[in-house]
Homo-oligomer: A and B are copies of this chain.
């Protein structure tokens, strides 16, 4: 099994799920499962748009580390993370995570891990713009920290420690 370097992009433009997915499987016959997650902008509470700010330079670096961590924990044949920034309206895709592996459990678990860690470790900030003209910075959620921390427990459990 040859491991491809993770593909990481931070961009304003939309991404192409089919093309990115095809790229992870193209010309290979050792990929048994491809998992993906696409995060989209919901129109909660009259939301007109999300504006995503990020920290150019650190963002790519942080995502690269998260992807490396996923590749260290699961036998992935490939992994792609694309995160958009800028102004995104309801229905717009925000983030794409794609993982490929010989076996489904690795692809699915790594995909869930990546989005959980992106939520808590990638330097993005969301500002909500509402129809009435008001704005609000999205606050970090305790449930996201909890979701991310279960992977600490998982790693600890594999090492034989009590979480």
Residues of A bordering B, CB below 8 Å: 16-18, 21, 25, 28-43, 90-91, 102, 104-105, 107-108, 111-112, 115, 147
Cα A38 to Cα B99 with chains together (Å): 10
Contact check, B115 vs A28: say whether CB atoms are below 8 A apart: no
Hey, which chain B residues are within 8 Å of A43, CB to CB?
29-30
Copies of this protein, total: 2
Most buried by B among A29, A31, A111: A29
Cα A36 to Cα B115 with chains together (Å): 13
**Known A-B contacts A18-B18, A25-B91, A108-B111; A39 and B32 likewise in contact (beta carbons under 8 Å):** yes
Contact check, B37 vs A25: say whether CB atoms are below 8 A apart: no
Contact check, A35 vs B32: say whether CB atoms are below 8 A apart: no
Task: Return the 4 tightest CB-CB contacts between A and B, nearest first.
Answer: A18-B18, A29-B43, A29-B90, A34-B38
